[in-house]
Amino acid sequence: KAGVTQTPRYLIKTRGQQVTLSCSPISGHRSVSWYQQTPGQGLQFLFEYFSETQRNKGNFPGRFSGRQFSNSRSEMNVSTLELGDSALYLCASSSPRNTEAFFGQGTRLTVV
Amino acid sequence: DQQVKQNSPSLSVQEGRISILNCDYTNSMFDYFLWYKKYPAEGPTFLISISSIKDKNEDGRFTVFLNKSAKHLSLHIVPSQPGDSAVYFCAASGYYGGSQGNLIFGKGTKLSVKP
């Protein structure tokens, strides 16, 4: 069974630009969550999508948004990038009967 | 305010000895706890979990203990191996509104196992 796939693995963007990250969950998993990892803050929850609907949202500004498609694939978008958005962005998927979340390898975003 | 706390940023242990990683939480609504292991530039890997109805769960060299009254859990690794060297994250979630909520993570403890 293929794991959670995130693309791209690495990304360099300039301040003010926008970026879209992609996540393909494990087959059969309908819940996709996004997390931001920075050295000082650890893993912080961004949002969760389930059956194309945002079910939970963390404490991030509106520049961070996401969506989920009918095949459960999810995208995350960050607009008007700031230097502080540089981080490892992790996607996790879980099945309705499991509370364990399985993570992808992440997308390393660097904003210059 | 941090709901899940890992107060030790780092831990160094000799190979073959026991590693004990600790985690405290403040939200009494949490009913499921997990430990993840993370290597640099990789996503966290699920290790072991425990439901709040249990006080111990064992999987090979890994055992998680939960003390609900103290709002404390710990991960024991016995015996520790150099390959266990990584950052370990404690995470918690609660069941809200008919579904399991998102994971709240601690800031991690970097474990170094010396040969």
Contact A45/B103, CB-based, under 8 Å?
A: yes
Contact B46/A4, CB-based, under 8 Å?
A: no
- Pick the residue from chain B with its C-alpha nearest to A87: B41
Contact A42/B100, CB-based, under 8 Å?
A: no
Contact A58/B44, CB-based, under 8 Å?
A: no
Tens-of-pLDDT digits for all 112 residues of chain A? 679 999 999 999 999 999 999 999 999 999 999 999 988 778 899 999 999 999 889 999 999 999 999 999 999 999 999 999 999 999 999 877 667 889 999 999 999 9
Query: Which residues from A are below 8 Å from B45, CB to CB?
Result: 103
Rounded Cα distance, A4 and A92, in Å: 7
Distance of CA A71 to the CA centre of its chain: 16
Which among B113, B111, B115 is positioned nearest to B36, based on CA atoms? B111
Nearest to B100 among A35, A99, A105 (CB): A99
Beta-strand pair A87-94/A31-38: antiparallel
Interval B44-99: pLDDT, tens? 999 999 999 999 999 999 999 999 999 999 999 999 999 999 999 999 988 766 66
Phi, psi of B33 (to 5 degrees): -130, 140
Contact B42/A90, CB-based, under 8 Å?
A: no
Interval B25-45: pLDDT, tens? 999 989 899 999 999 878 999
A-B C-beta contacts closer than 8 Å: 58
Query: What Cα–Cα distance (Å) separates residue A104 from each residue in A33, A98, B74, B91?
Result: 11, 17, 25, 17
